[in-house]
Amino acid sequence: MSKIVLEVLSGVLYDRLFLDTMTGEILDRKKLDITEMCKKYCALKINFPSQGFRKIEEVDEISTNETTIGDDIQRIRVIRNEMQHSSVFALDDTRYETLIEIVRAMLTRFDQCNNPAGESYVKRLDEIMKMELETRSFEEIKERMKAGLIEKIEKIHAVVDSVVSDALNDIC
């Protein structure tokens, strides 16, 4: 999900901001994260969310009937916040599926209003989703990581034993 936020949602917002500024200002994509782009939107005073800017903890709090560009900009911000400020690293499957459903609907709307050059946003989403690890692959990676960690712990244990043994020899 984090990869989707970084590679698709920030791109969508950048493209929309580029279309909406129409000032000829060169926007440095590398310097604009989602927070900075949302600040620029506030300054532009366009594409406000249907219910106005409000504190939202989870994207589910935005009604599915709220489908303006401003509502989707707010969804992007809230999804990014949820991913970035999460106290746990993983999403459970149910939450992941909910977010994917919301993102897919939003990207479909952006495909229609942004007219992205090149491939569509939904296609980018699909490509990232194809990269997902199968459960078996994930379990194999987890086991290799565990084995590497155990090996490191054993090496540290050997070093500690040696240091303690040397210290005891020095004392005795």
Cβ burial of 60 (10 Å; 0-12, 13-18, 19+) is middle
Separation of alpha carbons 137 and 113, rounded Å: 38
Mean pLDDT of the chain: 81
- Residue pair 1/91 in contact (Cβ under 8 Å)? The answer is yes
Nearest to 61 by CA among 46, 78, 45, 73: 78
The Cβ of residue 59 has, within 10 Å, a number of other Cβ atoms equal to: 20
Separation of alpha carbons 47 and 43, rounded Å: 11
pLDDT digits (tens, 9 = 90+) for 97-138: 999 999 999 999 999 988 767 789 999 999 988 886 555 566
The domain locations on the chain are 2-132, 134-172
**How much is the pLDDT for 64?**
87
Q: What is the CA radius of gyration of the chain?
A: 23
pLDDT digits (tens, 9 = 90+) for 21-77: 776 566 777 777 888 888 887 888 888 888 887 888 888 888 888 888 989 999 998
In the numeric block, which tokens belong to residue 76? 């992007």
In this predicted structure, the answer to whether residue 141 has a pLDDT above a threshold of 80 is no
- Residue pair 106/75 in contact (Cβ under 8 Å)? The answer is yes
Separation of alpha carbons 80 and 107, rounded Å: 15
Residue type, 124: R
